[in-house]
Structure 1
């Protein structure tokens, strides 16, 4: 009898606790699922999708000419803007430490490494051998594809306005 009472009591406490936690502020997230929006973003049932992440690494070529380096950097940035405007580049940015082999990342809204490879081959810094890409499939929130639209609303100066 004691065991049955204990099991019942533990069940009752567990159920009560879950009700308390689910009703307290900030503890429960109510679903506001929008199937049309999810489909537009390419989301699966978890609100996720597959992207291709690119790690930009230092290439085998190092330009000693400052003018050439600046030209390549500007062409690299113009390429980033173009890919973002085409909707295939979701996110791009450098790492803040310059002493690392990994210089930055891209997240491409494509499903295969082959597609991402073709996109990376359009980058003048890749073509010059200054940067190399390591491409890896990545599973993340489908909401990332909205990032560029949000960024346009908060960006005061473009990376290509130099």
Structure 2
């Protein structure tokens, strides 16, 4: 929920959760994984190891019940676009979602950065 703060609007996660609940909805956090400052198109043993760790982390988040959808954007891959993947997290707050996606090894080394958005949807659509 956006709350006026003087001349600018700020996001209030707690209010968004209250609003969602009042409407019979829930919140997920959508993330876009984008090329980071350490991005390169190179294929090296180090990058392969990092990719394995990235995939293991995504599996861990899914097994925790936190990652509900995830995958690469194929059109972006085909054109070497900025967005490398998209996913949705089931978290209790924006802060928790930031912490969860921040555990990604690719994010930690700056190969990827993330953009996080709060998404209000009907309950029972996603797990």
Q: TM-score, normalised by structure 2?
A: 0.72
Residues 95 and 65 of structure 1, relative CA distance in 2, 3 Å threshold: closer
1:48 aligns with 2:25: yes
* 1:129 alignment partner, SS class: coil
Aligned partner of 1:123 in structure 2 is 104
Q: Which has the higher contact order (CA 8 A, sep 6+)?
A: 2
Match of 1:74 among 40, 52, 55: 52
* Distance (Å, rounded) in 2 between the aligned partners of 1:69 and 1:81: 18
Structure 2: stretches of 5+ with no match in the other structure? 1-19
* 1:125-150 per-position Cα deviation (integer Å, ceiling 9, x unaligned): 1011111011110012333443xxxx
Larger Rg: 1 or 2?
Answer: 1
Contact 1:58 1:132 in 2 (8 A): yes
Match of 2:94 among 104, 107, 113: 113
Aligned partner of 2:3 in structure 1 is none
Aligned partner of 1:95 in structure 2 is 73
- Alpha-carbon RMSD: 1.9
Q: Which has the higher helix share?
A: 1
Q: Which runs of 4+ in 1 moved over 6 A?
A: none
Q: TM-score, normalised by structure 1?
A: 0.58
* 1:119 alignment partner, SS class: helix
> How many residue pairs get matched?
104
Contact 2:33 2:85 in 1 (8 A): yes
* 1:39-87 per-position Cα deviation (integer Å, ceiling 9, x unaligned): xxxx957663111111111111025451111111111111011000001
* 1:140 alignment partner, SS class: strand
